[in-house]
Amino acid sequence: MKLLNTVRRVLLLHHKQIQAKFFSSAADFNTVNNSQCEQEYGHTPVMPAEIIKALNPQDNQIFIDMTFGAGGHSRQLLKAASIKLYCLDRDPYAYEKAIKLADEYGKKVTPLLGKFSEMQSLLTKHGVKPNSVDGILIDVGCSSMQMDSSERGFSLSKNGPLDMRMDGKRYPDQPTAADVLNTLDVPSLVKIFKAYGEEKRALKIAQALFDARYMLRTINTTHELADLVQSTLGSEQRFDKLKRTSHVATKVFQALRIFE
Ligand SMILES: C[S@@+](CC[C@H](N)C(=O)[O-])C[C@H]1O[C@@H](n2cnc3c(N)ncnc32)[C@H](O)[C@@H]1O
């Protein structure tokens, strides 16, 4: 991205491992804690203190929050200094929240609706000059707003339509996760489960999904998918990296969320 060639600080958070990669000099952290954020914003943005330390916003600087979500990190940045902040998200519900933030902060906040690939043209449209951005925050994954809403179909624990589109409201014709499962062939499903979920029983699960079609059984809800994976893998026990029991369909859900 030419416009961003000389950004001084890019902070990339990876939810799954809760670790941050700093392409800048990160110092010691310890100023804002998570429970404080929870009380203020109704959800917990990850690593708030680390973000402020690493990006170190100063008055009159320009930042981009490329994954606005519910805006927890954006609010942290805005509180830390008098900055200009561009708030990007592909999810129209997140964009609505960014508009509300702009109502509070006026010209300091510019909401942007779009994908990462659209960012350069959106910034150009808003007159952002090359080499003018001081820092970027990327907090990849699903937002709590997306995961907590059963009708969006992201979460294994909440029954709802198997949708998983981050911008389904913007592109209603885009295939849902149910469309993917009910139409792709076995090798394509295996690729998705392996590449994005590291699912070691990918072939068995893909074959079961394919066979279900011959029994006129389409998979349309999150719980139907979870049940099918469970019945396919039988009594297999799984644990996450923290040794907690995890549902056998967790990796399939992860793979579909990333693929979507
Ligand atoms: C983990 S959440 C961010 C949470 C946010 N930091 C907060 O404090 O609320 C990730 C956000 O990135 C958005 N997102 C994911 N992929 C995207 C993409 N390719 N382009 C733009 N936004 C994306 C999602 O819609 C989601 O709202």
What is the reported pLDDT for 5? 54
Summarize pLDDT for 158-182 with one digit per residue, the tens.
999 999 999 999 999 999 999 999 9
- From the alpha carbon of 89, which atom of ligand 1 is closest? 22
Query: 194: part of which helix (H) or strand (E)?
Result: helix 186-197
Burial 18-34 (b: 16+ CB within 10 A, else e): eebebeeebeeeeebee
Banded pLDDT at 107 (limits 50, 70, 90): very high
Q: How many CB atoms lie within 10 A of CB 256?
A: 26
Q: How far apart are CA 150 and CA 160, in angstroms?
A: 5
Atom of ligand 1 nearest to the CA of 73: 8
Q: Token pair of 28, please? A: 């010691």
Kindly report the average pLDDT of the chain as a whole number. 87
Cβ distance 160 to 204 under 8 Å? no
Residue 16, pLDDT above cutoff 60: no
pLDDT tens digit string along 219-251?
A: 999 999 999 999 999 888 999 888 999 999 999
pTM of the predicted protein model: 0.85
Q: What is the CB < 6 Å shell around ligand 1?
A: 15, 45, 67, 69-73, 88-91, 94, 115-116, 139, 141, 143, 166
Distance (Å) from CA 69 to ligand 1 centroid: 5
Pick the atom of ligand 1 nearest to 115's CA.
Answer: 20
| Cα Rg, the chain, nearest whole Å | 20
Instruction: Give the model's confidence band at 46: pLDDT under 50 very low, under 70 low, under 90 confident, else very high.
Output: confident
